[in-house]
Structure 1
Amino acid sequence: GAKPLAVTNCLNFGSPEDPGVMWQFAESVRGLADGCLEMGLPVTGGNVSFYNQTGAVAILPTPVIGVLGVIDDVRTRTPMSFDRSGLDLYLLGETENDLAGSEWAYMHNQRGGIAPTADLQREMRLIDLLVAGRTKKIFSAAHDLSQGGLAATLTEMVLRYNTGATVQLDNVGLALLSETPGRVVVAIDPAQTAALTTEAASQKIALKKIGTTGGDSLVINDAKISLVELRKAHTETFPKLFG
């Protein structure tokens, strides 16, 4: 629900003496510049890190972008998760077949494919919708979808305040793992349904109800996992890796 004002960056690549790496770097900078120009955001600073590699094997190109956003009154900020039952969950934005470059692709050692396309005009309308939802107190919670897609977002939301959710999805695998940009899950009181529908329509943002909050489990279609089990899986990565 913040209004973006400026951008900073951290651009991490292998050796610029490698023509392939230099192409990755140049295209990343060009993409960053194009996006900032279209959204009217200045780049106020940043840094570049080259020669990130072991021998001749470079890291994957890793541009990291930070955006400064301002909220006129921090007391009106929208929390990232819900802490009570009886709220409705909605997905803002459209989900496409965007698995290239995703967490799913990384886990399955899949490289290549067509990268997701960012519709920056729609992104700006989504930002306006999120600001309106915050200022008009429509949202009880809001969480972006990024790395890990909807699966990661739902996990983080239910674990934050130990409040479960029941979700119903079509094409469940793609719905959970696609990383199409420009999407947000919001939780609202059912009394705010008309207000949310009106705001989403005015910004031409797709809106779909996907579930409700409550319980001690995350239920997705016919699959159910307790929050205890989910938290264990979510927090035990390092212990399993390092013994």
Structure 2
Amino acid sequence: MKGRVVLKGMFKKKSLALPIMIGLMTVVLSACGKPITEELYSETVSQDVKESTQLTQEEKDYYSKAVEYANSESTDLSAKTVSQIISGEKERQLKIEEEEKKRQEEIKRKQEEAEKEKQAQLKLLDESIKVGLIKKNVTYKDTDKWIFSDIINMTLDLSNNSDMAVKGFQGIITFKDMFGNEIKSLNVKYDNVIKAGDSTSYDGSVEVNQFMDEDIELRDTPLEKITVEFKMDQIIFDDGTTVKRSEVE
């Protein structure tokens, strides 16, 4: 009777140890599995990557971009591990960033060159020819002499301040009073050569419209109280170079 009791007790201890051993084996087997980064690409692994706690969100994003790019390019990823896919996508993204940086730098360089050229051409338009008013007088209406309206006679001084001979130019001259208020603007066109550094005079006349206040004011304002501004619209140099404001601005 005593021997039976001992056997029964031993049997109970053995049956209790069995599930414990199975549990330990499961833990050991789980611990021996590959990390997610060493797994080869597959749709199942892609889902595991999304749910993984081993990877950062940045690494997951790189992985997703790599898979999306591979699908668009019909590239086979089956021979690559998750780690290789992530590192490859990092390199691809860095290359894209570098190429974009170079592209932006090239765009900036071209814009700067274009702006430099624009400013150089505007300088030619604004500074090549200086216009001044040196004489002004009025021929008054005299029907006996077949003069049916007052005429303003003016002499302009045209100075070529550029280092090239000018074949001709056209633009707008604006007459202002001593306070800088605009009196009247007129078109000016000159088609004779002015050598570099030279100046010449240009005689012109304007018929006064008695019903226009600006004409009356220009007629009656003394020469010494008039200032002029000239805005070049187009200039042609002796070497054939032509600069048009409408094409520059």
- TM-score with structure 2 setting the length: 0.19
**Bigger RCO (CA 8 Å, 6+ sep):** 1
- TM-score with structure 1 setting the length: 0.19
- Give the helix-richer structure, 1 or 2: 2
Q: Whose Rg is larger?
A: 2
